[in-house]
Amino acid sequence: MPIQYSEELRLFRLATPNTAYFFHVNEGGFLVHDYYGKTLPICDLRYLSARAHKASFSPQSADLTTTPETAPVEYSCNGTGDYRISALQIREVRGNASTDIRYVSHKIYPGKPALKGQPATYGTEDETTTLEVLTRDDVTGAEVTLYYTVFEQYDAIARHATVTNTSDYEMNLERVYSLCCELPFGDWELCHLYGSWAKERQFERKELPHGITAVESKRGSSSHHHNPFAALVKKNTTEDAGDAYGFNLVYSGNFSIQVEQDYDGDLRLLMGINPTDFGWKLEPGESFETPEAVSVYSAEGLGGMSRTFHKLYRNNLCRGPWKNAKRPLLINNWEGTYFNFNEEKIYNIAKQAGELGVEMLVLDDGWFGARNHDKAGLGDWFVNEEKIKGGLPLLSQRIHDLGMKFGLWFEPEMINPDSDLYRAHPDWCLQVENRPLSIGRTQYVLDMSRKDVRDYLFDCMDKILKTTQIEYIKWDFNRNLTEVASFLLEPCRQKEIFHRYVLGLYELLDRLLTAYPDLLLEGCSGGGGRFDPAMLYYSPQIWTSDDTDAMERLTIQYGTSLCYPTSSISSHVSVCPNHQTKRTTPLKTRGDVALAGSFGYELDVTKMSDEEKEEVKGQIAEYHKYYELIHFGDLYRVIPPNESECAWVYVSEDKSEALLTFVCVRFRVQSRRAVCFRGLDPEKIYADEEGKVLPGSAWMNGGVNNVKSMQDGTSFKIHLTEVK
């Protein structure tokens, strides 16, 4: 049984194929955590939660049933003796913020409930089982329901919480996290992903100090700078072995991951909405639902953890016809033309790209309003017919006549001061009365919490989609939020704006995809500034970074792969010298690196030489040859990117096929080494394309003897197939 309850022990066991999670209800009604790790049968593990009492400085609860400061509780509360980081803080009508929740009842049932107005993983009754635990604070009247969903096929547990005001008075939520996880004393290290624009999701692993370590965003989006992902690992954990606990928040706004190592070395991790600038007023009878958090445990190191996230997100988070369908190979004109184009230029790029095998042309920024540069036009979503003579319907038809699909760029959440929309509705952007507006990329941010704003944006996009054959939309978001206030909400609710903004975004995305269910949506935020699982619910691929340099993409795509599947990593071949770094890298290497994602091109193909075009044809043939293996196979990170090299392997689910890619970042004379495959069946026999035949054990343990004299920035691939 995925979820079991022992009435005698008042103990819950949540089981995935290889892991188990235990907690119990103690005699005082507190939910106390016992165990999370390798699978165990249901048994009395309550003894594992015992902690020492530290005299009067660690107060006991009034009923003497627990010591809150040391107890490993399931959902920590503020103000009643637990001085560590708290998951819940409610300020009630009399002004105090002490909270104390106790067990009331529980339900176990097949399936998984949807979150209202928020993205989340999903599963059928055959795939998932859910536990709801109802708790209550009798003083405030707050009822808190904790949700745990176990996936039958994956070592993953999805969690969230709801708070309901059952009192006769208003209450204010000041912090309400989605997940609280307790882990016992050990040599723990934190893995997380930091970065900036054009340098997203850089992997960092560090020893945890005593005290609080935080990874957060308060930018209004999940951001380039930190990702809503973290992993806790033991010091001896590697890519292939050891304990790895991964956590990911299904949310696109301000988030907080806090880890506290107390004086005894025990850990508490919280994940949820960032409490900075957050508040939510609950009237009697109202409820608040947190975003979902996903936890994954693996005894097979960071690689095992990653592969679980990849499969879960591909199969139980991404939706719609493009979830598993083969994505069209596209060319985007942005780096090829920027704003300097007309309909003939775009058509010629499409025509020549189509002759090489490209399947879709995406028209990027600059097709609308007075958009001849980035200082005007955002918000005016009507075609600029001085650039696109005959309008989008005619251009789209011409491109479709070539046998290609057509895609279009939008940045719906933004507005330029120099736009018809701003002149008509200056109140529609986020702003604080009497305070000058900050500006980023010469644009302001529309107030997505407003229904009239969302209606306007939907109507604009709907009009274009109704009149033009469009298969794909790139949805961009090119600055963070400042002066976050809304004219439509009363002063006591202004702290709700950040979250209401995100809910408004989700509402508009859902409305668009409901009206146009066959649309392929690609997320973007100046590259990877909003690369999070919530966006994958709407857009199964996300523009990973505005940095298209293949060498830079090694670290960006490596970090992204810690949590997100290859199929979600939009990766293009661009021109050299690269527009961001000025580096020149061989076209072959650019193709090999871009193949580790949703493949495409970001250049002006009309400027390529005949030799380059022939090479592009070969890359496109490889894209089709390896598509299933790369998009649906298991990823093994063989050599993390470093100053010398990087390598990775994809292995098909049935282990009949594998593809190794090796990139020489900087050649060294003494760089000879074996590069080993991973993930093969050691008993099967595999052959490479040069005829070498070896058992899987040899390919994995002996590897490939890399004696090639390579140049900086060069690469090679080795494809293995099973010999029957």
Residues annotated as part of the active site: 476, 546
CB 658 within 8 A of CB 649: yes
Q: What is the 3-state secondary structure (H, E, C) of 106-159?
A: EEEEECCCCCCCCCCCCCCCCCEEEEEEEEEECCCCEEEEEEEEEECCCCEEEE
Nearest to 635 by CA among 194, 314, 191, 233: 314
CB 75 within 8 A of CB 144: yes
CB 194 within 8 A of CB 528: no
The rounded distance, in Å, linking the Cα atoms of 279 and 275 is 7
Bridge partners, residue 281, by sequence:
172
Q: What token pair was written down for 693?
A: 């035949």
In whole angstroms, how large is the CA radius of gyration of the chain? 27
Q: HSE (CB half, 13 Å, CA atoms) of 628?
A: 7
Dihedrals phi, psi of 678, to nearest 5 degrees: -140, 160
Q: HSE (CB half, 13 Å, CA atoms) of 618?
A: 12
Q: Could you count the other beta carbons within 10 Å of the beta carbon of residue 466?
A: 10
Q: HSE (CB half, 13 Å, CA atoms) of 497?
A: 27
| Helices of type H across 182-222 | none
CB 85 within 8 A of CB 270: yes
CB 447 within 8 A of CB 496: no
Q: What is the 3-state secondary structure (H, E, C) of 212-226?
A: EEEEEECCCCCCCCE
Dihedrals phi, psi of 654, to nearest 5 degrees: -90, 5
